[in-house]
Each structure stands twice: as C-alpha cells, then as structure tokens.
Structure 1
Amino acid sequence: MMGDMRQSLLRRDALSAAKEVLYHLDIYLSGQVQNSPSPSVDTPTLELVEEFILHRRMSALQELQLLEIMCSCFQEQSRDAVRQLIFSALFTLQGNQADESRMALLGKLVSMAIAVGRVPILECAATWLQRSHTVYCVRLASGLVDDYCSLLPGSMVPTLNNISSSSPQFCCQFITAVTTLYDLSTELSPPVELLQMVVSWIQDDPRLVLVTLLNTPASSSQPMGSLDLTPLAGLVCWCVKSPLAYRRDRKQGLSNGMPDTKPEAGPLFSALHLSVLQVLLLLPGVLREKGLLGRLALMQPEQLTSLISDLSRLLEELNPLQGDTQTHTQLTLERLAQALQVAMAAGALLCSREDLRALCSHLPHNNLLQLVLSGPVQQSAFYPHVNTPPLGYSPRPLGPHLSAHSPHPTSRSPHPSSYPSYPSQPFIAGMAFPFRPSH
C-alpha cells in the first residue's frame, strides 16, 4: 500500500505531493493516538516525509505555500498529542542527510509562526527545544534572531512581546537558547533589542524563567546534551560578565579604528541582574513543591567554573588597575557575589564555600565577594522578597504580584551591624550590600 502511495506521489508536483504527505501523516497519527497506547511513526512514513517534504526541490513560492499549509495543519489539529507527533515526525533529527533540510524548514516554520502568532507551532517548537541537542537549539535560536534583528531590524520587540503570555514555554526555551548562543566569552554579544525583550519578559513575569522546570515531572531526566532546565545559569553569566565583556569589545573596536556606535547596554544588564535575583528568590518554594530542594542544582559547578575562568581571561585582556576597567571589575565581582549568595540560599547552587574560595582565589579582591566566601550562607527564609525598583532601566513596570509582598524588612538584616556599611544602593531591601548599576 505504501508503495502504491509513493508511486502516486511521484506523479504529482512538489507542493501537491508534500501536502498529500502532511494529510496522510495527520490521518495516520490521529488513528495511532486513538488506537495505540504507545503511538509512534513507522519507518515507511518517515521515508515519505524525507522524500516528498524534505528532499524535493521547490520554488520560493511553493515553499512559502508549504509553510502556510503546515501552519494551517497544526492550527486546525485540536489534539495536542497528534500535533506533537506530527511535529516530531517532521523535525526530530535522525542523524542522516535530511537533517540539514529539517533544520532549514524548521527555522522558516517557527519564524513564520512567530510572525503570524501560531501558538500551537510554538508549543511544539518548545518541546523540540527541550528534547534536542544544544547545538541544534542554538542554531534555531540564531536563525530567529537573524530574522528579526538583522533582516527585519526593529521588528523583534513588537512581534515577540505578546508571545510571552501566549506561549511561555517557548519563550523560556528561547531565552535558554540565546543565553547559550551569546555567552559573552567571545565578541558575539546579544543585540540590544533582544536583550531589551528578555528583560521586559522577565520583569513582566519572573516565573517565565521557571516554566520548563514547573512543567517537567520531577522524576524525568533531561536528554544528553540538551539545554539547561532553566536559563538561570546563562542569565547570571550575562549579568556578571557584561561589564568586562562590553568594556573589552569597546576597547577592541576603538583600537581597530571603529567608532563606538553601539547603544548602551549597561542599564539593561543592571535591570536584568535585579530581575534574576528576584527569580532566584522564587526558587525555594518551587523546588520544595517538586521535592527537589537540595537535590537539583540549577547552576552546575562546571558552569560556575567556566564563568570564573572566563572572568579571569577577560581580566587578562584588560588592565584591571586602569581607572574605568577597575570600576567595571568591581561591578562584575559585586554581581558575582550577589548571585552566588542568593543562588546558594535559594538552593540553585549546591556548592561549598571551600570550593567557591578555591574557584575565586585568582580573582581580584572585592569586599562583598570576600564576605560571601568567608561568612555563613543564610537560609532562604532570611531573604525577604526583592521590592526595590529596577535600577537604571525599566522598559515596563513590575507587575503587582512583585510589589505586594511582605513589608520592608529593616529589622531582619542577617548580617551583624559590626560589618562595614557601604554607601550605595542595597540589592535587597534590608541588606547593606553594594550594588552599582552601570552607567
């Protein structure tokens, strides 16, 4: 029967054949979901997908029409299980020559789904991002950023802003992928409008960063080489590295005779840093609910080791004793200290102070970092909810759910009054820790 179908498809034009395979896939998998306890796609059907959708040449117009047909197919299919199986049959990487065509078609389909607001496709793409290898997830994210920042500059924020509420799962996975793509270890840095959008999303709803964790059963395990369960580690790296990384990029640009025309990203990273600390403060309750408090490190020791190594290398490239560089160095170290203390208190980083001291031993001196490395790490109950406003930048006001928490905890400071008082903005109400927004 499958052979007869193939012969029939060979007589059709490329678009008509691809449309017929999609129709067959929909009918076949709907039956599988209805009649089988373990629905799956058989090999002959996968071969039809490869031959008539992925390998046949199409004109640009035919390809656009195919994308529109696929959008309609996913939109009209009411059962999520069937949609996910169709998406899996089309785009699960098989380790063969068709994978390049799969990635190209996937990038175009997700880009179109973003443009026209096809949420079912974005939900399927979120699942794909969670199950696929990081290398391919980064490729997909890179293509989407190119589409909306390079080919259509100025379109990313207005186009993607509403997606955070309609498909938070996709947005969470997308943030994880872009923080992996732009890790600031090289001169590749996130476009300012992408950074602005991420800050806006997280300020609107800090729990967006935890959506994948919230929706993942506690007993399940991540596929080998997949993206992190949350983008927290990547976001911490952005905030901590950014003062030095952007200082390096500016210095290299000027030495190459290039004018400094990039928009100022410092205030955005300052706002993002505060938002990340707010997210960390939500973690103990989430981890406790899932029975994972003290058992699941959302910031792995090897990620922290890589971060410290990158900071050391950045400092070698710059002169840490130079006026401006020294200011940026201290800002970086203060953000590192704040992130470490809150992450340990929240249960996101399961690491001893002895290990931290060894890791940070080659970094320049910073009073706050020394305090964190030498003093006791307080339990999360000692940390009141952050209720200070974003520093330096606020594209949108914080939602009411972030400002209606406990009253100002001036009487609950976990540090003795004998510690020196720093004349600067506290990063958490009631804590005399220095927080310097970049200017």
Structure 2
Amino acid sequence: MVIITLVFCQVPMGDIRQSLLPRDVLSAAKELLYHLDIYICNLVQSGRQPPQVDAKTLELVEEFILHAPKDRNTPGRRMSALQELQLLEIMCSCFQEQSRDTVRQLMFSALFSLQGNQADESRMALLGKLVSMAVAVGRNPILECAATWLQRTHRVYCVRLAQVLVDDYCSMVPGSVPTLQNIHGASPRFCCQFITAVTTLYDLTSEELTPPLELLQMIVSWIQDDPRLVLITFLNTPLSGSQPISSLDITPLGGLMRWCVKAPLAYRREKKQALTNGSAENEQEAGPLLSALHLSVLQVFMLLPNILNEKGLFGRLALLQLESLAALTSDLSRLLDQADKHTHTSSADTQALSQLTLDRLAQALQVAMANGALLCSREDLRAICSRLPHNNLLQLVLSGPVMYYNNIHTPPLAFSPHAAHSPIASHPTHPAHTPHTPLATHPSSHPQYPGQPFITGMPFPFRPSH
C-alpha cells in the first residue's frame, strides 16, 4: 500500500485522467474512488493543516463520478440504473472499510461539498441515493459524514436531502418507516440533524409542508426515548468558529416548538382537504402526538440549565433565536385571522383551538426563558407578541417577571448560530439584575392548568392540554 501511495502521488492528475478515459463509465468511477482514497490518506499523513483536496482532483470527481461534461463540446457520460446501483454499493463499501474518520470526512467532502456549479445537481442526486442506501443497509460511517455535511451546508440543500429520505421511507414504500427509525441508534448525530432539517422543511404553511403522520410519530418516539437527542449537535459543536446564518439551526428546538404551537390551527385549516382525501383520521391522530411532542420539548428545555452551566453558557447563548420567534408569532397572527373566517368548524371549536395554540406558545416561552433557552427583555417579548389576540396565560408571561442572568451583559459567543442578530447583541448594556422570583401561579379561570409555579429545576407539573 505504501508503494502504491508513493507512486500515485508522483503521477500528474492529467495522466490519471488519460488512464480513466478509455474505461467504461462504472470502471472509471470505481478506479477514481480507489485513487481518491489513496490520495486523501497521503494528504492526511503529510500533516498539512488544514488538509485540502486540490481543484484538479475535484474536477476528476465531477467528470468521472458525477459525469459533468469536461466542456460544452463533450457530451456527459451517463450510467444505467444498474451501474448507478453498483456504484452506490462500491461507495458504501469504500466508506465502511476506511477506518479513519478524518479520511472519510475529507472524501465525503470531495464528493459532495457544493461548488456552486452545474455539477451540484448531480451531487445532490447522488448524495440523496447514497444516504438513502446507507439508511437501508446500515452504513453508519456514511451517516456520520452526512451529519457533518448537514451541519456545514446551506439549509436549502439540507432540506432537499431530508425530503429525499421522507419520500423514500415515509411515502413511497409502505411499511419502511422502521428502517429510517433505526438511525436513532445507528447515528444519533445524523438523527439530530435530520430532525432539524425536517422541522425546517415542514413549516406547516400549507398541506404539502405539513409533516406526514408517520414522520411525526417517529420523531415523537425518538425524543420521548432520548430527550437529549435534540441537543447532540449543540453538545458536539466546538465553541470556536461561527455558525453560518444560512445553515441549519444548532438544535431543532425552534422548529419543534413551531410544530407544537402552529399545529392545532394548521391541521384544522387542512380539514377540508383531509376530508376530501379521506384522511380525516390522520388529523385526529396528530393531535395527541403533537401534545406529547409539546411536553417533550418543554422537558428538553428543563434539561438546559445544568448543560449550559457546565459549559459556562447560561445567560450567554440563546438556543431559540428572537428572529425565529418573531416569524412564528407573525404566522400565528395570520392563522388566527384565518381561523376566525373558517366555515368548517363551530365558533366554539375555533376559539378552543385558538386558545390552545396561544396556551402552548405561552408555556413554551415561559419554560424557555426560565431555563436559559431564550434571552430577551420583556419589552422585546411584548413587541413580538403584540399582534396576537388576548390570552390569559400569555398575558401572564408577558406581564410577569422576566428572567435575567447575572452575566446577561456578556456578548454572545462567536459560534452562536446568529450571533450578530442575537437578542443579547441587541441589548448589550443591560445591567445585571437580581435573581428572578417565581412567576405567579395560573389563575383559577383555567382549571385545566392547576395553579403551579414555573420554577427552573422542578419537575414539569402537568401535561399540555390535547
């Protein structure tokens, strides 16, 4: 192997291309993968920091694996469906047999990092098929590499990959959901990033962007089994270096909170379509699932104080961004207006759903603030919620004491997903405040929520209403 490595490193890239041209399309791709593995192993062994694949190698990948034409006058070569399947199997074996994670990550990056050119569509198509196969046959190294890809890539492409997996395992092949569900045990990092991507994709703005029931069931079961799952990316992200604003959020908490809060109105909005499509049962089943998810999200918030304190981040890093919260309340305002005009439900039902939505928002805001996931002033919160109709629980949160932290004047950390837009950055001169007092108990006019103080560190005392 050492001799082969040395020989390869001395061969000019142009000569390698000449040796690949006479081969058939599958043989050329297989040979290039072999050489790419050797090249990257040598690159890592050289100790060069950071190790970076050169442009000529990336051009070979585009030409012989992604089949992008070398120039306009040269037609691109195409694989048959069988040849493509064989290539995917070869790639699965290649990543599985390579024991060094650094080499695997560099190879994955060389194959699938987006370059902003015409080959990107071929990259995305091949990536979706490779990750889908890795899920099916349990190739954990590929899932680990895909988790890193999801963390570093623009969210537009991340949701495209998530859509491929949802289509493959929740829509096209009945009964295949358990296969996708197994990624929880195979690669928790990928599972966390997948949840973040699908909550970004399905924003409940239309029927098409409402999560399928099978997907919802799967995510609820994952988080119920392991609430810390949604924090894995955050827990494993180095504190140096900033997270690009265009990337996925560092946790799926914001997206999950959006699902829980918007769901009562969003699913009711689709009732007419559900009845037309004969899927009214799905709407009914989604209610308890989303109630369970809401409870799970609140319980994840309750885990944060210890985690943030251990990292020295309590009061310094907001896992829920103020901009996302503003977008959520804007969507809620529109949905509530639509609900008032809804002709398929009684006014009493509509009012109950509206109050459930606002109750969930209030609960999420209070628990998030109390546990350090949301950092903002009371004035900010009032401004964001100003367009929402009156709700007793929400009014209590907006008017009650807001939690401040002794180090709230500390600037946000560089790796904060949106540090420049952080609510802390918007208010850098806040003085330190004395410790907060517990929020007043819920008024007796809401018997479904017994009077309970929201106090950080106490077990969550009730289940959200269904």
Band of TM-score, shorter chain: 0.7 to 0.9
Distance in 2, Cα, partners of 1:62 & 1:195:
35
Identity of aligned residues (%): 72
CA RMSD of aligned residues (A): 2.2
1:425 positional shift: 4.8
Match of 1:6 among 17, 39, 48: 17
1:252 positional shift: 5.2
Partner of 1:88: 109
SS in 2 for 1:293: coil
Distance in 2, Cα, partners of 1:435 & 1:427:
13
Partner of 2:172: 151
- 2:462 corresponds to 1:437: no
Distance in 1, Cα, partners of 2:47 & 2:349:
65
Partner of 1:225: 246
Please list, as runs of the form range in 1=range in 2, the aligned pairs for 1:209-358 lying within 5 A after superposition.
Answer: 209-251=230-272, 253=274, 257-263=276-282, 264-319=285-340, 322-358=347-383
* Residues 14-62 of structure 1, C-alpha deviations (whole Å, 9 max, x = no match): 0100000100010000011111232110111111100000013100000
Distance in 2, Cα, partners of 1:45 & 1:416:
64
- Which segments of 5 or more consecutive residues in structure 2 lack a partner in the other structure? 1-11, 68-76, 406-436
Match of 1:424 among 448, 453, 461: 448
Does structure 1 retain, via aligned residues, the 8 Å contact 2:393–2:442? no
Distance in 1, Cα, partners of 2:452 & 2:222:
21
Distance in 2, Cα, partners of 1:66 & 1:182:
32
Partner of 1:360: 385
Distance in 1, Cα, partners of 2:271 & 2:116:
41
* Residues 83-129 of structure 1, C-alpha deviations (whole Å, 9 max, x = no match): 00000000000001100000000000000000011000000000000
SS in 1 for 2:238: coil
The residue type paired with residue 402 of structure 2 is: V
Distance in 2, Cα, partners of 1:418 & 1:63:
61
1:220 positional shift: 2.5
Partner of 1:390: none
Distance in 2, Cα, partners of 1:200 & 1:433:
21
Distance in 2, Cα, partners of 1:294 & 1:153:
46
Distance in 2, Cα, partners of 1:296 & 1:312:
28
- 2:397 corresponds to 1:376: no
Match of 1:37 among 44, 48, 59: 48
SS in 2 for 1:330: helix
The residue type paired with residue 62 of structure 1 is: Q
Distance in 2, Cα, partners of 1:114 & 1:77:
18
- Which segments of 5 or more consecutive residues in structure 1 lack a partner in the other structure? 381-412
1:221 positional shift: 1.2
The residue type paired with residue 280 of structure 2 is: T
Does structure 1 retain, via aligned residues, the 8 Å contact 2:21–2:28? yes
Number of aligned residue pairs: give it. Answer: 403
Distance 1:417 1:41, change over 3 A: closer
SS in 2 for 1:54: coil
Does structure 2 retain, via aligned residues, the 8 Å contact 1:334–1:435? no
Does structure 2 retain, via aligned residues, the 8 Å contact 1:368–1:433? no
Distance in 1, Cα, partners of 2:367 & 2:441:
20
Partner of 1:160: 180
1:435 positional shift: 5.7
- 2:100 corresponds to 1:79: yes
* Residues 236-263 of structure 1, C-alpha deviations (whole Å, 9 max, x = no match): 0000000000011114555xx5544351
* Residues 127-154 of structure 1, C-alpha deviations (whole Å, 9 max, x = no match): 0000000000010001110111121122
1:219 positional shift: 2.0
- 2:137 corresponds to 1:116: yes
The residue type paired with residue 111 of structure 1 is: S
- 2:61 corresponds to 1:49: yes
Distance in 2, Cα, partners of 1:246 & 1:167:
31
* Residues 134-175 of structure 1, C-alpha deviations (whole Å, 9 max, x = no match): 00001000111011112112211x112232122110000000
Distance in 2, Cα, partners of 1:130 & 1:18:
27
Distance 1:181 1:428, change over 3 A: farther
Taking structure 2 as the reference length, the TM-score comes to: 0.82
Partner of 1:402: none
Distance in 2, Cα, partners of 1:338 & 1:417:
12
The residue type paired with residue 179 of structure 1 is: T
Does structure 1 retain, via aligned residues, the 8 Å contact 2:128–2:161? yes
Partner of 1:172: 192
SS in 1 for 2:270: helix
1:211 positional shift: 0.2
Distance 1:198 1:95, change over 3 A: same
Distance in 1, Cα, partners of 2:170 & 2:317:
35
Does structure 2 retain, via aligned residues, the 8 Å contact 1:253–1:260? yes
Distance in 1, Cα, partners of 2:325 & 2:112:
33
The residue type paired with residue 437 of structure 1 is: S
The residue type paired with residue 74 of structure 1 is: F
Partner of 2:416: none
Distance in 2, Cα, partners of 1:418 & 1:20:
68
Match of 1:17 among 21, 28, 41: 28
